[in-house]
Amino acid sequence: MSLGTVVITGAAGRIGSAVRRGLRGEAERLVLLDRVALTPEHPAEEVRQVDLADAPAMAGALAGADAVVHLGGVPDEAPLPELMSGNVLGTHHVLEGARRHGLRRVVLASSNRLTGSYPAAQLVGPELPPRPDGLYGVSKVALEALGRLYADKFGLSVVCLRIGSYEEAPADARHLATWLSPRDCLGFVRAALTTPGLGFTAAYAVSANTRRYWELSPELGYLPLDDAEAFAAGIPAQLHPNGLQGGAFAEPEFTLPYL
Ligand SMILES: NC(=O)c1ccc[n+]([C@@H]2O[C@H](COP(=O)([O-])OP(=O)(O)OC[C@H]3O[C@@H](n4cnc5c(N)ncnc54)[C@H](O)[C@@H]3O)[C@@H](O)[C@H]2O)c1
């Protein structure tokens, strides 16, 4: 399937930069958005410096697009007003722009931290209720709820990828369960853009880690290839003593500085 014109928000970020490189040459046109300045590196690239808070600018940037990969926002724990503005209102502006301009697919960067308060011993799938491990996780619950609303009410095709731990290589015990390799990340994003017939879909984007505690969603059209176990020899195996999927992220001390 031809990708057509794809907009990437947060294109200057860690995952955005990798998705940009990965889709280069595949999409007819890549529109790269971020609040920091970017420089085009390919004839198919167009860059725009836009803040997610600017609803008209966001909608304008989505005009003529076929799909959007929304990666921009606050990527970790922060005061709730900051998360509401960056992750919730920002996502609303993306979805509203996509509705107005009739985009065929919206891919939203959700997070595993939306279920980080489940026990690590439990296999969790997207049908279980959210149990966020912090305020950041709460903002991703709202992001998914907005996606669901726009799918149910306005018929948008919305895929929420609950991204694991995006790293070149796993570095700690939690990563042995949660690692998302760059190759698998691109595979999930490509599938989320191209797999036909998806209505609202929430799916974990995690590598094929032997110790993973999330279910995969084969309907997404991508099965991961990498396994953190290949790195296990150099990593202490002991998970956080609280036994929760979020580990240290789920501790009160992680959120208290932001309250
Ligand atoms: N990295 C991970 O392991 C991971 C895990 C789960 C979910 N995610 C999600 O994936 C997405 C990308 O993560 P990342 O690691 O690349 O983060 P990142 O911080 O490297 O990139 C985020 C980008 O968004 C931009 N941005 C932030 N606020 C903005 C605003 N108001 N207007 C315009 N641009 C803005 C930043 O400038 C940055 O370039 C985020 O939504 C994050 O919550 C990441």
Domain-wise residue ranges, the chain: 5-258
Average pLDDT across the chain, whole number = 97
Whole-number pLDDT of residue 151: 98
Buried b (16+ CB within 10 A) or exposed e, 106-138: bbbbbbbbbbbbbebeeebebeeebbbbbbbbb
Phi/psi at 185 (nearest 5 deg)?
Answer: -60, -50
Among residues of the chain, what percentage have pLDDT more than 90? 97
pLDDT confidence band for 206 (50 / 70 / 90): very high
Q: pLDDT for 125-137, tens place per residue?
A: 999 999 999 999 9
The reply to whether ligand 1 has any atom less than 6 angstroms from the CB of 54 is no
Whole-number pLDDT of residue 1: 66
CA of 54 to the centre of ligand 1 (A): 17
Q: Which fold has domain 5-258?
A: Rossmann fold (3.40.50)
pLDDT at 205 over 80: yes
The reply to whether ligand 1 has any atom less than 6 angstroms from the CB of 136 is no
Q: pLDDT for 61-113, tens place per residue?
A: 999 999 999 999 999 999 999 999 999 999 999 999 999 999 999 999 999 99
Q: pLDDT for 34-54, tens place per residue?
A: 999 999 999 999 999 999 999
CA of 249 to the centre of ligand 1 (A): 17
The DSSP line for 14-70 is HHHHHHHHHHTTTSSEEEEEESS-----STTEEEEE--TT-HHHHHHHHTT-SEEEE
CA–CA separation, 6 and 31 (whole Å): 6
pLDDT at 25 over 90: no
